[in-house]
Amino acid sequence: MAAEEHGEGLAFHPMDQFIVRPLFGEGDVGVFTITNATLWMALSVLAIALLFIVGTRGRAIIPTRVQSIAELAYGFIHKMVEDVAGKEALTFFPYIFTVFLFIVFSNFLGLLPMAFTPTSHIAVTAVLAIGVFLTVTIVGFAKNGAGFLSLFWVSSAPLPLRPILALIEIISYFVRPVSHSIRLAGNMMAGHAVIKVFAAFAPLVLISTIGIAVTPLSIVAITAMYGLEILVAFIQAYVFTILTCVYLKDALHPHH
């Protein structure tokens, strides 16, 4: 759409792409309403299932391309969990692997034209982050009992500073799900919005002087931003997953 004024507003609205709408009919979105967000989350789950059903069906010694992708993803996250949180944390590998796959597929499918990106919504990323937070906290107390509280007591610090540091550690611990979720949603939303803004300038009339200058630059900017978004889509899934491993390590080994 052209980037010209329409009444008091603009003819293009970069944030419209993040509106959750009912998939069938009109009206308010309720708890059980099937929406565009629901559809694309379901497609992400379906894509993951297809990847591993097709990828592991033959289990060839010389893997196919699909099998190679499935094996690389499995090995990549398995090594991450073991290296960051230790072998003891491999018990939680299926959970961490599932979270990584859901985020990375949601991110990449959201880059398709006319698609919806579930991970651009704090409602989705908050559920993922709270799930990690509750899992880590429950595991910490289940494994260490009251000893888990030593996570907040920095024994290596001078004694007068320990209560202050303990307060800071407690606050930072409960802020984890906030930062964990906002980081992912914010990065996905920002990139998509910027692409939409650049796209609004692309259809300018080429015969005008400003159109000749702006349209090619806009197309180049869209291409560059799209390439960057592909990188960000993977990096944000990686960051979310590695932070999950770090938090799990704290739960399994809370002593400073």
Convert the chain into a string of H (helix), E (strand) and C (coil). CCCCEECCEECCCHHHHHCCCECCCCCCCCCCCCEHHHHHHHHHHHHHHHHHHHHHHCCCCCCCHHHHHHHHHHHHHHHHHHHHHCHHHHHHHHHHHHHHHHHHHHHHHCCCCCCCCHHHCHHHHHHHHHHHHHHHHHHHHHHHHHHHHHHHCCCCCCHHHHHHHHHHHHHHHHHHHHHHHHHHHHHHHHHHHHHHHHHHHCCCCCCCHHHHHHHHHHHHHHHHHHHHHHHHHHHHHHHHHHHHHHHHHHHHCCCC
pLDDT band at 5 (very low <50, low <70, confident <90, very high): very low
CA–CA dist 147, 144 (Å, integer):
5
**Per-residue model confidence (pLDDT) at position 3:** 41
> What pLDDT is attached to residue 12?
65
141-170: pLDDT as tens digits:
999 998 888 888 888 888 888 899 999 999
On average, the pLDDT of the chain sits at 84
> Average pLDDT in the 199-228 region?
68
pLDDT tens-digit map of 111-136: 888 889 999 999 999 999 999 999 99
- Per-residue pLDDT, 98: 95
State the Cα–Cα distance between residues 10 and 7, nearest whole angstrom.
Answer: 8
Q: Please state, in angstroms and rounded to a whole number, the distance separating the CA atoms of residues 256 and 232.
A: 33
